[in-house]
C-alpha cells in the first residue's frame, strides 16, 4: 500500500485529492489547521478501506510544524508521496504591503514547504526513495498587478523544487511541480484576496486532484519535473 501525505487537506484541492487517492488505494496522512474538518474527512473516507491518520497543524506558525509532523509520520508508515498543497494568497501593491503580511505569506507558501520537506525527506531517504509534489501556480512565471507577493512566493517555490530535486536525486527522491492556473477553491473567499475573476471558468479541484493522482502514480523510473494545468479559456 502506498502512503501519501497531503498538506492543506481539509478543503479545496487537498480534500479533493484525499478523496481521489483514497479511492485508488492510497493510505493517507492528512494535515491542516482544522481538526474537526480533518476528522470529518477521515470519517467519510475510511469506509473506502485506507488507513488514515490526521494532524491539526498550523503551517503559518514555524515553531508548530516539525515535531507534530514527525509524530504524525510515526503513527503510520512514513509517506511514499508528499503533496505540498497548502498555501494562501494576498492581493495588494507590494510597497503598501505590511511586513507582517509578507512574512505570513512567505511562511505559508514557501518556508512551511521547506520545513515539511526537512522533516519528511530523512524518512524517505531511510526507505530508499520517495516522491515530492509541490503545488505551484503559473504566477511563478508571470507578473500580475497586485499579486506581486504571491508571484514571488510561487517563483521561489519553483526554485526550491528544482534545487531539492538536484540534491535528493542521489537518494532516490524525485520532485515534481504541478503548475496551476486559477482553481475554484475557498482561497478566493479569503479576507486577503480581492478579485473579480469569473470562478465558473476556473479549474475544478477534482480536475487538479486527477492530475495529482497521475503524478503520484508515476513509475519509480521516471519523473515529470513540471506538469502545467490551465483553464481551457486561457490564463488567469
Q: Tens-of-pLDDT digits for all 236 residues of the chain? A: 799 999 999 999 999 999 999 999 999 999 999 999 999 999 999 999 999 999 999 999 999 999 999 999 999 989 999 999 999 999 999 999 999 999 999 999 999 999 999 999 999 999 999 999 999 999 999 999 999 999 999 999 999 999 999 999 999 999 999 999 989 988 878 889 888 788 888 999 999 999 999 999 999 999 999 999 999 986 55
Class of domain 3-229: alpha beta
Question: Residue ranges of the domains in the chain?
Answer: 3-229
- Provide the annotated active-site residues: 150
Q: What does DSSP assign to residue 4?
A: E
Sign of CA dihedral 200, 202, 208, 211: positive
User: Cell numbers at residue 106, please?
Assistant: 512567505
Name the DSSP letter for residue 79.
P
CA distance 109 to 116: 12
Amino acid at each position: 500500500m502506498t502512503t501519501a501525505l497531503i498538506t492543506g487537506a481539509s478543503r479545496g484541492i487537498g480534500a479533493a485529492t484525499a478523496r481521489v487517492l483514497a479511492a485508488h488505494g492510497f493510505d493517507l496522512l492528512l494535515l491542516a489547521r482544522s481538526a474537526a474538518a480533518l476528522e470529518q474527512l477521515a470519517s467519510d473516507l475510511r469506509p473506502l478501506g485506507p488507513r488514515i491518520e490526521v494532524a491539526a497543524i498550523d503551517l503559518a506558525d514555524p515553531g508548530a510544524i516539525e515535531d507534530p509532523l514527525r509524530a504524525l509520520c510515526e503513527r503510520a508508515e512514513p509517506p511514499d508521496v508528499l503533496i505540498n498543497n497548502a498555501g494562501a494568497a494576498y492581493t495588494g501593491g507590494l510597497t503598501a504591503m505590511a511586513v507582517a503580511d509578507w512574512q505570513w505569506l512567505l511562511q505559508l507558501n514557501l518556508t512551511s514547504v521547506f520545513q515539511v520537506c526537512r522533516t519528511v525527506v530523512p524518512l524517505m531517504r531511510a526507505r530508499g526513495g520517495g516522491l515530492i509534489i509541490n503545488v505551484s501556480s503559473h504566477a511563478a512565471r508571470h507578473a500580475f498587478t497586485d499579486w506581486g507577493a504571491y508571484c514571488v512566493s510561487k517563483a521561489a517555490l519553483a526554485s526550491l523544487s528544482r534545487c531539492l530535486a538536484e540534491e535528493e536525486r542521489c537518494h532516490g527522491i524525485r520532485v515534481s511541480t504541478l503548475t496551476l492556473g486559477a482553481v475554484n477553491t475557498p482561497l478566493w473567499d479569503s479576507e486577503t484576496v480581492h478579485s473579480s475573476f469569473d470562478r465558473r471558468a476556473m479549474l475544478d479541484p477534482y480536475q487538479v486532484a486527477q492530475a495529482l493522482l497521475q503524478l503520484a502514480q508515476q513509475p519509480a523510473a521516471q519523473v515529470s519535473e513540471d506538469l502545467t494545468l490551465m483553464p481551457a479559456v486561457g490564463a488567469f
